[in-house]
Amino acid sequence: MGHPRHHHDLPAGDALVDAARNAMARSGEQWTAMRASVFDALASFEKPASAYDIAEAVSAAQGRRVAANSVYRILDLFVSANVATRVESANAYIANAHPNCAHDCIFLVCDDCGATTHIDDDQIAASVRAAARKAGFEPKRPVVEVRGSCPDCQ
């Protein structure tokens, strides 16, 4: 029996930037030039990127040094607005390819190459939330990450 999954329209390029900008507006945040630069850098990485990686990319693009602590603050805003997702076990971030959809993400993280695959499985997420509530805990944001080897590294 398959797991319940949901479908996403995955914007890319300018459409992804528009979706991110709209998500920020919905959360009451402005889309500043610096936030746009951080998002552009974040979206350019194929694997989860640290704030330091992003700060380095923004610094190179702007020709001036951008501090990682400034990038961290913007990434925190992005996470709260559903524009980015934090891969907890890697202390890194990825651009949310579907910022208009609020749900619990499940990440498959390759220990060999660092590739991170996002999957949606509402049944697993619901089970994690239900187990937390059964223990008397009110879950806010379940984090489900599976470490292992991707198909290319197996």
110-121 residue pLDDT tens: 999 988 988 888
The CATH fold assigned to 106-148 is Dna Ligase; domain 1 (3.30.1490)
- CATH class in words for 14-95: mainly alpha
Q: Evaluate whether 35 touches 19 at the Cβ level (below 8 Å).
A: no
Tokens of 53: 């990686």
Instruction: Give the start-to-end residue ranges of the domains of the chain.
Output: 14-95, 106-148
pLDDT in tens, 8-50: 455 567 888 998 999 999 999 999 999 999 999 999 998 999 9
35, with CB counted inside 10 A (0-12, 13-18, 19+), is: buried
Q: For the chain, what is the mean pLDDT?
A: 88
Confidence of residue 59 (pLDDT cuts 50, 70, 90): very high
Per-residue pLDDT at 73: 96
Per-residue pLDDT at 2: 44
Per-residue pLDDT at 3: 43
Per-residue pLDDT at 12: 65
CA–CA gap between residue 26 and residue 116 (Å, rounded): 27
Identify the CA nearest to 101 among candidates 31, 23, 47.
Answer: 23
CA–CA gap between residue 114 and residue 34 (Å, rounded): 27
